Structure 1
Amino acid sequence: MSHSTEIVIVRHGEAACNVAGIVGGDKGCTGLTETGRAQAEQLAKRLASEHAIRPYNNLYATPRRRVVETARIVANTLNLPETVETELRGPDHGEADGRPWTEIKTAFGGPPQHNPDQPYAPGSESWNGYLTRAIAALETILRRHGGQRILVVAHGETIEAAHNLLLDLPIDACRRFGYVTDHTAITRWYRQVNRFGQATWLLAAHNDTTHLPGTPR
């Protein structure tokens, strides 16, 4: 059997909006903290060691500032050009952008995933609206780069979208469970083709942060 395609999705480093509990859209995201930059550098070193053995063919990033800053550190270390994919951006927050998440969730009656068909603020996407967009963008990337090794620097929500796509989950699965995804965590999927030509997506890693100091190995 062989791994015909691999997609590795990593979450961005710690951002100022994460620490402050602020909705981090285009307005609310002011970039990485010092801790976040250090996390991105540790992530880049780990990915570079992999890249030296089996090179990544492509590097994609989302346009939010915290992701762009993380991706730039990774791209410079791997000497790999990055492509910013607008359709992979995090949810569009509308009037929630820049406001405290506690305020938004209190007004909405919970996180966006628990009422996934409804916008959680004026002008925002619904959770399912975001999922539909992100899944379509991931499908496009996978079709474009079949048989290659793809690296995506993105959001925790992007990882949720990838799991929905590759696990073929129902759209309302988010009402029942979620995922822990830490800053700069690595998620790894392989498309395995066996000797009979049958293809299966395999989840090889989720929330892997062993590159960060203090993480058990």
Structure 2
Amino acid sequence: MTITTRLVLARHGEAQCNVDGLVGGPLTCTGLTVRGREQTRRLATRLTAEHRTGPGFDVLYAGPRARLQESGRILATALDLPLLTDPGLDGPRHGQADGRPWRDVEAEFQGRPAASPDLPWSPGSDTWNGYLLRAGRALTALLERHAGQSILLAGHGETIHAACHLLLELSPSTSSRIDFGTEHACLTRFHLHHDPYGRRFWTLAALNDTAHLQQPVADRDS
């Protein structure tokens, strides 16, 4: 059995909007905390060791939001790879919820965005299923563009959810009942296998891997 394409998704480190409990859309996201930068440096150290021993990464992508760009730059410096920005790989559109406390948004919506996946959680926002579809299309284009390569993506937790729904071929009807662990600076890995009988299939090789974060990290921003 042969592995061809590899997709590694690295969630961004802890961001200031996460600490503040705010919906971190493009108007609100200011990047990582001190803790988040340390988390991402530890992630970069782990990935650099893998990159040196092989198979190495061919490309590194990030979405445009500040916490993704900051995480991506830390990885790019460590791996000596250019950071490519793809707007299609950004997180959900939050509309008027951008900058509001998540507790207020979820109280008004009666749950997290996936709770009612075909309804917008705020005026001007995506629906959860709409986001999964849009992000899935961007991921499909990325995988087609870099078929046969090793791809590293600095993304949101929601992007990891979208990859799981896409590559595991989960029905939209399941999106309100399935969740995936996506801690800050975690790794999720997918491998595209080709077997001797002509079949191709994706394997979820790792989910929410945070082994590189097991030692205490620096205190986060106040």
Instruction: Confirm or deny a common fold (TM above 0.5).
Output: yes
RMSD: 1.0
Give the secondary structure class of the aligned counterpart of 1:172: helix
Cα offset, 1:194, TM superposition: 1.1
Give the secondary structure class of the aligned counterpart of 2:211: coil
Look up the equivalent residue of 2:187 and give its one-letter code. I
Match of 1:4 in 2: 4
2: CA distance, partners of 1:158 / 1:89:
8
1:34-88 deviation digits (Å, cap 9, x = unpaired): 0000001000011111111221011110111011000100001100011111011
Match of 2:147 in 1: 146
Look up the equivalent residue of 2:186 and give its one-letter code. A
Match of 1:189 in 2: 190
- Aligned-pair identity in percent equals 48
Give the secondary structure class of the aligned counterpart of 1:175: coil
Look up the equivalent residue of 1:149 and give its one-letter code. S
Greater than 2 Å deviation, 4+ residue runs: none
Look up the equivalent residue of 2:145 and give its one-letter code. R
Match of 2:81 in 1: 80
TM normalised by structure 1 equals 0.97
| Matched positions, count | 215
Match of 2:108 in 1: 107
Q: Structure 1 residue 46 and structure 2 residue 46: aligned?
A: yes
**Correspondence list, 1:7-156, <5 A:** 7-53=7-53, 54-156=55-157
Cα offset, 1:198, TM superposition: 1.3
- Please list every run of 5 or more consecutive structure 1 residues that lacks an aligned counterpart in the other structure: none
Cα offset, 1:214, TM superposition: 3.1
2: CA distance, partners of 1:131 / 1:66:
20
1: CA distance, partners of 2:193 / 2:126:
34
Q: Does the 8 A contact of 2:129 with 2:175 survive in 1?
A: no
Q: Which moved more, 1:96-105 or 1:48-57?
A: 48-57
Cα offset, 1:211, TM superposition: 0.8
Look up the equivalent residue of 2:11 and give its one-letter code. R
2: CA distance, partners of 1:179 / 1:124:
22
- Please list every run of 5 or more consecutive structure 2 residues that lacks an aligned counterpart in the other structure: 217-222
TM normalised by structure 2 equals 0.95
Match of 2:202 in 1: 201
2: CA distance, partners of 1:48 / 1:203:
21
Give the secondary structure class of the aligned counterpart of 1:7: strand
Cα offset, 1:177, TM superposition: 2.0
1:86-115 deviation digits (Å, cap 9, x = unpaired): 011100001100000000001111111011
Give the secondary structure class of the aligned counterpart of 1:135: helix
1: CA distance, partners of 2:43 / 2:49:
10
Look up the equivalent residue of 1:121 and give its one-letter code. S
